[in-house]
Structure 1
Amino acid sequence: MKKITAGLFISLDGVVEAPDQWHFPYFNDEMGAAVDGQLGAADTMLLGRVTYDSFAGAWPDREAAGEEDAPFAKKLGDARKIVVSRQPLEFTWRNSELLQGDLVEAAAALKEEGEGSIGISGSVSIVRQLLAAGLLDELHLLVHPIAVRKGMRLFDEGDTTLPLTLLSSTRFQTGVLYLVYGPAVEVPEGGYEEARAHLPAE
C-alpha cells in the first residue's frame, strides 16, 4: 500500500501561506535533505492547482538549466503528478494529469496502487481533507523560528479536535524544528484532576 505524506513550511504562529516570502533565510542542507526525503522520494505527487501552477512554472526551467537544483527538478518532473482542480487544465509539465472524481475516494484508491509514496507539498486544502478522512500517513512540518503574523494557517476552525502522534523530531542548526506526525494511536483523556498529580509537591 502506498503511503501519503505531506510537507509544509510553517511559522511559529501556524502560517503556511506564501513561505517564499519568509522561509528562504532558514533553508540549509538539512532542510534540503528533509524536503528531498519527503517529496523527492515520492513516485506520485498530489497537488492543488495553485501549488501545481507554481511548480510547473519553475521546476521544468530549473531542470533544463542544469544547475545545482536540476537533479531535484528532474525527480519532480519524472514523478506522476495528479492535480486537484474543479476546472479543466492544459498541462505542459510531463507526467501531469487531472484528478478524476472525489478527492478522498481518489486518494484512498491511489493508496491501494502497490508500493511507493504519494507526496504532497503545500496544498493546504488537500492536507486538511486527507487529515480529516484519516488518509494522511505522515505530516512533515518544518517549523521556522519566526512569527509571520498574517496569512493562512494550517488548521482552520472546526468542531472537533485532531490528535496526532509525534513520530520524530529534529532540530536544525538554523533553529528550524523538523517534526513528523502520524495519526494518533491513542487519544489521551483527562482533566486538571489528573494533571495536578504531576505538579511539584513543593
Structure 2
Amino acid sequence: MSRKITASLFISLDGVVEAPDQWHFPYFNDEMGAAVSAGMNSTEILLFGRRTYDSFAGAWPEREAAGGQEAGFAQQLGDMRKIVFSRRQLDLPWRNSEQASGDVAEVAAALKSEPGGDISLSGSVSVVRQLLAAGLLDELHLLVHPVAVRKGMRLFDEGEPSIPLKLLRSEAFATGVLNLVYGPDTAPPTGGYEEAVATLGE
C-alpha cells in the first residue's frame, strides 16, 4: 500500500488562503485544534514551499524551546523529515530539513512509492496546486471559515483543465467553520442543461 499525501489549508468563504494569521484566529477552538493535530498522527514527512517553511521554521523551534503548551506539538513537527521545494539554494536551520532535488511531481511520486508513514502539507499553496494537477494528492482538507476576506491569493488559480474532486467527509464546528475533506474523483458526474431540466419533473 502506497503512502498517502494529504494537504490541509485554512480557507475563507471566498477562497482566500493567503495570510490566514490575519483572519483565522477568531475561529480557532478545540474542535479545530483536534482536527489539525489528528492529521499529523500518521505523518512521517512534511512537504513545504519556501515561504511556508520560513514561517514554520521561524515559529515552531522557539515554541519547542520555550516548553509551553505547544512544546509537544512543536517537538513532533521538529522530529519529522521536512522537504522544502525552491528554485534557489536554501539555508534550512530547522532540524531534519532538506531541500528537494527535483520538481514537486517527481519528488512526490518517488516518496509515495516508498514504504513508510504518510506525507502531509500545511499551507504551501504552490505545492498543493502542483500535486493536484499531477493527480498525486490523496486528500485535500479545507477548513472553510465563514468570512469573505476579499483580498489575497486564492487556492485555485486560472487554468486548464478542471480538477474534479469528491467529498469524502464533512463536519461543522460550533464556530461555523466547515471541515471538508476531498479526494480525487476518477469518475466525475456528467450531463448538461437537458439532463438538469429533466430531473425537475422527477
User: Same fold by TM (over 0.5)?
Assistant: yes
Contact 2:44 2:118 in 1 (8 A): yes
Deviation at 1:40, TM superposition (A): 5.2
SS of the equivalent of 1:155 reads coil
Q: What fraction of aligned residue pairs are identical, expressed as a percent?
A: 69
The CA RMSD over aligned residues, in Å, is 1.2
| Structure 1 segments of 4+ aligned residues over 3 angstroms from their partners | none
Deviation at 1:39, TM superposition (A): 3.6
Deviation string 1:27-49 (CA, Å, 9 cap, x unpaired) is: 11111111112245411000000
Aligned residues: 201
Deviation at 1:11, TM superposition (A): 0.3
SS of the equivalent of 2:106 reads helix
* Residue of structure 1 equivalent to 2:147: 146
TM-score by length of 2: 0.96
* Residue of structure 1 equivalent to 2:66: 65
Question: Structure 2: 5+ residue runs without aligned partners?
Answer: none
The one-letter code matched in structure 1 to 2:182 is: Y
Name the CA distance, whole Å, in 1 between partners of 2:45 and 2:164: 27
SS of the equivalent of 1:105 reads helix
* Residue of structure 2 equivalent to 1:165: 166
Show the 5 A alignment for 1:180-195: 180-195=181-196
* Residue of structure 2 equivalent to 1:155: 156
Deviation at 1:152, TM superposition (A): 0.2
Deviation string 1:143-174 (CA, Å, 9 cap, x unpaired) is: 00000000000000112211101000000010
Question: Structure 1: 5+ residue runs without aligned partners?
Answer: none
The one-letter code matched in structure 1 to 2:177 is: V
**Residue 5 in structure 1 maps to residue 2 in structure 2:** no
CA distance 1:200–1:23, change in 2 (3 Å): farther
Name the CA distance, whole Å, in 2 between partners of 1:200 and 1:143: 34
Q: Which moved more, 1:82-91 or 1:43-52?
A: 82-91
Name the CA distance, whole Å, in 2 between partners of 1:200 and 1:140: 36
CA distance 1:40–1:151, change in 2 (3 Å): farther
Name the CA distance, whole Å, in 2 between partners of 1:40 and 1:20: 24
Contact 2:85 2:103 in 1 (8 A): no
Show the 5 A alignment for 1:47-86: 47-86=48-87
Deviation at 1:196, TM superposition (A): 1.5
TM-score by length of 1: 0.96
SS of the equivalent of 1:196 reads helix
